[in-house]
Amino acid sequence: MDYQKLKDEIIEYSKTIGIDKIGFASTSTFDELKNRLLRQQELGYQSGFEEPDIEKRVNPALLLDEARSIIAIALAYPSKMRIRVESKKGERRGIFSRASWGIDYHVILRDRLLKLEQFIQSKIPEARVKSMVDTGELSDRAVAERAGIGWSGKNCAIITPEFGSYVYLGEMITNLPFPADEPMEDRCGSCTKCLEACPTGALVQGGQINAQKCISFLTQTKDLIPVEYRDKIGNRLYGCDSCQTACPENKGKDFHFHEEMEPNPEEIKPLLKPVLALSNREFKTKFGYLAGAWRGKKPIQRNAIIALAHFKDESALEDLINLLKEDTRSVIRGTSAWAIGKIGGQRAKEGLEQATEFEQDPNVQQEIQHALEMILKNKTSKS
Ligand code: SF4
Ligand code: SF4
């Protein structure tokens, strides 16, 4: 079998099914990644969303018998909305990060990988393959880097010269010995713009990220967000793009190749107050198709409350007081208490004081006390 010829055919075919970049890599173990993961584990930098078995993450041979190559793919996504929302005075909106615009990218990439699998198996019926996107054992970024898709930036994203870092990544392990491509040279140089732009200092020199500090991770957790990060979240409902928008390699990069990736502005930049009142069914209908909905309704509602506090939206006060009094979820009550304290004023104080009479959860009680102290402090500093 001429594997170089088949590789060329795969490259040609990939262009016809909406794959924007493709690369081929060996299946040798990812030793550098292993060291980095071990260091991350030691330092407590993990998100907890990763595959827990480090060996599986670094050794493709454990994932497919006789693994001989990995095919990496990249699809470029838009960085700007074609249609913008009409902002009206006083309306407050949240934002989903770019990686959650359009249909969940896992679905789109799986479709492309499935087509690629079928193409390969039409050429070699006995070929064995294993595809993955994001939630698989392998690191999409480490594979893409080795396959020459792009270099690994200091913002921990893969940066392609063509599309910047606005690319979704996926890969397929195969038992076919395709010739490997060369990794790309790192072009970050002395630039540190992403490190400077990160609101929480989550990027550590040497291309490491402390997930526990990263807003993108924090917006996806389900518990109370540590107080020190709440102000930094701003109006982000899901994810964070700051270290990508700051990157000079992304300047002017905005590609609209895939209709499924076009965002509905009303959904990825929704009005905040209606988000608080969504039923489970409404949430599923409106947001369920987005990548950012994968953790369900609660984190998005909690983040919407934080965003209303960020805007100090007094018109949301009654809604927040109702949540504090009536919501069954302690995370929502606790975050509402904090937001009420941030917005401040006499009505906020009354709402919090009323809640102290019946709140049973110690964490929420603590949030209420903290919120009352914020109001008192503000009053003292104004007088
Ligand atoms: Fe920092 Fe946001 Fe990038 Fe996370 S996603 S490293 S918080 S800039
Ligand atoms: Fe590299 Fe600069 Fe982009 Fe950071 S901002 S990823 S250092 S080029």
Q: DSSP labels for 263-308?
A: --HHHHS-BHHHHHT--HHHHHHHHTTSGGGTT-HHHHHHHHHHHH
Q: What integer pLDDT is reported at residue 375 of this predicted model?
A: 96
Q: Is residue 240 lining ligand 1, measured as CB closer than 6 Å?
A: yes
Nearest CA to 294 out of 160, 104, 132 is that of 104
Tokens of 160: 């392609």
Give the ligand whose atoms come closest to the C-alpha of residue 238. Answer: 1
Helix orientation angle between 317-326 and 346-356, rounded to the nearest 10 degrees? 0
Q: Do 169 and 74 touch, CB atoms closer than 8 A? A: yes
**Cβ count within 10 A of residue 203:** 24
For the cut 80, the answer to whether the pLDDT of residue 22 exceeds it is yes
Tell me how far the alpha carbon of residue 195 lies from the centroid of ligand 1, in angstroms.
9
Atom 5 in ligand 2: which residue has the minimum CA distance? 247
Q: Whose CA is nearest to atom 2 of ligand 2?
A: 191
**Across 267-279, average pLDDT:** 97
- In degrees to the nearest 10, what's the CA dihedral of 367, 369, 371, 372? 160
CA of 282 to the centre of ligand 2 (A): 39
Work out the burial of residue 358: count CB atoms within 10 Å of its CB; fewer than 13 is exposed, 13-18 middle, 19 or more buried. Answer: exposed
Residue 207 Cβ < 6 Å to ligand 2 = no
pLDDT over 70, % of the chain: 99
Mean pLDDT on 163-177: 98
Instruction: Say if residues 36 and 210 touch (Cβ distance below 8 Å).
Output: no
Going 187 to 48 to 111 to 244, the CA torsion angle's sign is negative
* Mutational test site, ligand 2, from 156, 249, 251, max ligand atoms within 8 Å of CB: 249
Distance CA 202, CA 222 (A): 19
State the pLDDT confidence band at 23, using cuts at 50, 70 and 90: very high
Tokens of 257: 């190749």
Mean pLDDT of the 100-118 span: 97
pLDDT of 42 reads 87
Average pLDDT over residues 99-104: 97
**Which of 318, 322, 274 has its CA nearest to residue 300?**
274
* Pair 85, 30: CB distance under 8 Å: no
* Catalytic residue ranges: 134
Q: Is 214 in the pocket of ligand 1 (CB under 6 A)?
A: yes
pLDDT at 86 over 90: no
- Say which residues have a Cβ less than 8 Å from residue 290's Cβ, sequence separation at least 6: 96, 100, 101, 102, 103, 104, 238, 267, 268
Gap from CA of 240 to ligand 1 centroid (Å): 6
Residue 383 pLDDT: 65
What ligand has the least distance to the C-alpha of 151?
Answer: 2
Rounded to whole angstroms, the Cα distance separating 248 from 160 reads 12
Distance CA 317, CA 341 (A): 10
pLDDT at 196 over 90: yes
Given a cut of 90, whether residue 111 has pLDDT beyond it is yes
Q: Which pLDDT score, from 0 to 100, does residue 204 have?
A: 86
Q: pLDDT tens-digit profile of 212-255?
A: 999 999 999 999 999 999 999 999 999 999 999 999 999 999 99
Side-chain-facing half-sphere of 342: CA atoms under 13 Å: 22
* Token code pair at residue 165: 């870092």
Ligand 1 touching residue 165 (CB < 6 A): no
pLDDT band at 73 (very low <50, low <70, confident <90, very high): very high
Write the pLDDT tens digit of every residue in 302-361: 999 999 999 999 999 999 999 999 999 999 999 999 999 999 999 999 999 999 999 999
Straight-line distance from the first to the last Cα atom of the chain, in angstroms, rounded to the nearest whole number:
83
Lowest-pLDDT range of 16-25, 92-101, 124-133, 374-383: 374-383
Residue 93: which of 310, 342, 242 has the closest Cα?
A: 310
Count Cβ atoms within 10 A of the Cβ of residue 82 and give its class: 0-12 exposed, 13-18 middle, 19 or more buried.
Answer: exposed
Report the nearest atom of ligand 2 relative to the CA of 193. 5
253 lines ligand 2 (CB under 6 A): no
Whether 162 shows a pLDDT value over 80: the answer reads yes
Contacts of 183 (CB under 8 A, 6+ apart): 145, 146, 147, 148, 151
Reduced to 3 states (helix: H, G, I; strand: E, B; else coil), residue 76 is strand
Ligand 1 proximity of 348 Cβ (cutoff 6 Å): no
Per domain, the residue ranges of the chain are 3-88+98-174
Ligand 1 atom showing the smallest separation from residue 203 Cα = 6
CA 243 / ligand 1 centre spacing (Å): 5
Mean pLDDT taken over the chain? 96
Flag whether pLDDT at 205 surpasses 90: no
- pTM for the full predicted model: 0.94
For residue 327, what pLDDT is reported?
98
Most informative mutation of 209, 228, 229 for ligand 1 (most atoms within 8 A of CB): 209
Q: Is 246 in the pocket of ligand 2 (CB under 6 A)?
A: yes
Q: Are 292 and 300 in contact (CB under 8 A)?
A: yes
- Compute the distance between CA of residue 213 and CA of residue 199 in angstroms, rounded to an integer: 9
